[in-house]
Amino acid sequence: MHTVRIAYIGIAWLFLACVVVQVFLAGLGVFAGGQNFSLHREFGYVFGWLTLVLLLLAVGGRLGRRWIGLSALLLVLFAFQSVFVALREVMPAVAALHPVNALAIFGVALHVARRSRVLADGPPATVEPATEASRA
């Protein structure tokens, strides 16, 4: 289980780094020409798989509801990115949520990466319920 926890931490930080690169690639598409948006799009498809890896590690490693929920949230938020882009012709106001959702992805990814360091220490200590004999 320790290996899964370490892998989760590493993938969480890798995903966060990829989000930062993705924002750079979007800026490149805006300021260096629209032809560069293909890099933004393709890179998103490549590193998007990390959200599924995080979820599988959280479930397989039995990291608990919090980590499973945060990993699932990242997966859902990331999936919505493509939905927003697909709606750009018919619902441009909804499609404009794409960069707003990117901010949400960054925020959740930062939270997951920073907080995941506690996973390296192992499961939290559990407190045994007091028994009648221990109270006496």
Question: How do residues 66-95 score in pLDDT, each as one tens digit?
Answer: 999 999 999 999 999 999 999 999 999 999
Query: HSE (CB half, 13 Å, CA atoms) of 108?
Result: 21
Q: Name the nearest CA neighbour of 51 among 26, 19, 22.
A: 19
Domain coordinates of the chain in residue numbers? 2-122
Three-state DSSP class for residue 124? coil
Segment 99-127, tens digit of pLDDT? 999 999 999 999 999 999 999 886 653 33
Angle at 30 between CA 27 and CA 31, to 5 degrees: 85
